Structure 1
């Protein structure tokens, strides 16, 4: 029985990749890595790479790289963070592939709660966006939760459901930018490693687009002496 979870996980991973590469071009695919690594008891390093495609792979929509330094106001619960992001976008305009870059500074506050099996997270983020020919400010509110399935806690070898909703608001007109709704199946590999396969629907003013998402999460501490 001890090998069953490993076999299920490997099957889950292989099927996720196969599923993503079988999609038609009207369904995008995002491959994502998130690192949130403790430097010591109070400080943490955020590091993130997202490779977003218009299709399964090869037609790049956006490459997003983010990093930041965070500080725990209370241990593992309330965290403030200052970060920087670089975004390379390759949208289609009138059927022609274009390219533009963005530099982004952001500040965020994350608070977490636990109610029974429900792991809840609120994230409030303010962004200063330096575009090639414009400057914009944006506010984002993220509400997410995880629910373990085969165990009561998020321990290794746990399957869990992951869900979130995130709304984006401009400081100028139009105020509404977009809304993201996400659902996924996740697996806890170890105390500091998780993987998720999910679907996200992004709603914009004149556009509604689905995204298959494969996410890998790393919380391995940088200093194990704490």
Structure 2
């Protein structure tokens, strides 16, 4: 109980500290929905959609669509490969330029041991980014590392926090970091909802973002067993 109380205080402290960074002028928003579809004991399909705005629920920044497949190597280790398509408006101002398109492929592994009775997930990802900006094609590669934890408060409420670092293979090594903390509500074993704060450092900009996420699970093994 003391451990959970301490973790909750640290969680609230992280929100206070991150809010002290010099932010961009506007509070933006990230709205996202992700679903994990279990198809066998070890295999599952991951699908997702994100919409990001420069201002809260307005002034379009980008849309992201993703589709991937997970393989469970053990109870604590999972591998994923995925494809993402992004449509990006790179400026907050009104313009007539065509949006940037990105086709992204990644491979990752996630390791989740329990520390202090809470899961801590180490996620390592390699990304290959094919970017088309005004007809100019660019290939970029980078690595990402994220540490994430989840702290249960009761059967339905939980806290979650994460920090993710981005490392480029070419050019400046370190240009982005994301620090996230949120309150979550587990509506059922297959549905949870999170509302949180995301601080994003990217290319010398300090951005504050409201993040709202819906996370779903489906299990096609049950349908197979009943058919």
Number of residue-to-residue matches in the alignment: 196
Q: What is the distance in 1 between the residues matched to 2:201 and 2:178?
A: 6
Q: Quick check: 1:67–1:84 contact (8 Å CA) kept in 2?
A: yes
Q: What is the TM-score of this pair, normalised by structure 1?
A: 0.81
Aligned to 2:218, the other structure's residue is in SS state coil
Structure 2 residue 151 is the aligned partner of structure 1 residue 147: yes
What is the alpha-carbon distance in structure 2 between the residues aligned to residue 97 and residue 182 of structure 1? Answer: 33
In structure 2, C-alpha distance between the alignment counterparts of 1:185 and 1:45, rounded to whole Å:
26
Indicate how the Cα distance of structure 1 residues 220 and 94 shifts in structure 2: closer, same or farther if over 3 A, else same.
closer
Look up the SS of the partner of 1:140 in the other structure.
strand
Q: CA deviation at 1:186?
A: 0.4
Cα-to-partner distance string for 1:19-68 (whole Å, 9 max, x where unaligned): xxxxx971111111111221110101011110111112231101011111
Q: CA deviation at 1:219?
A: 2.0
The answer on whether the counterparts of 2:54 and 2:92 sit within 8 Å (CA) in structure 1 is no
Distance 1:215 1:37 in 2: 17
1:31 maps to which residue?
Answer: 31
Gapped regions of structure 2 (runs ≥ 5): 1-23
Deviates more, 1:54-63 or 1:24-33: 24-33
- Please say if residues 107 and 127 of structure 1, whose CA atoms lie closer than 8 Å, have aligned partners that are also in contact: yes
CA contact (8 A) 2:46 2:69 kept: yes
Partner of 1:69: 69
Equivalent pair of 2:33/2:50 in contact (CA under 8 Å): yes
Structure 1: segments with no counterpart, 5+ residues: 1-23
Which 4+ runs in 1 deviate beyond 3 A? 93-98
Q: Which has the higher contact order (CA 8 A, sep 6+)?
A: 2
Pairing of 1:1-16 with structure 2 (within 5 A): none
Partner in structure 2 of residue 5 of structure 1: none
SS class of match (2:221): coil
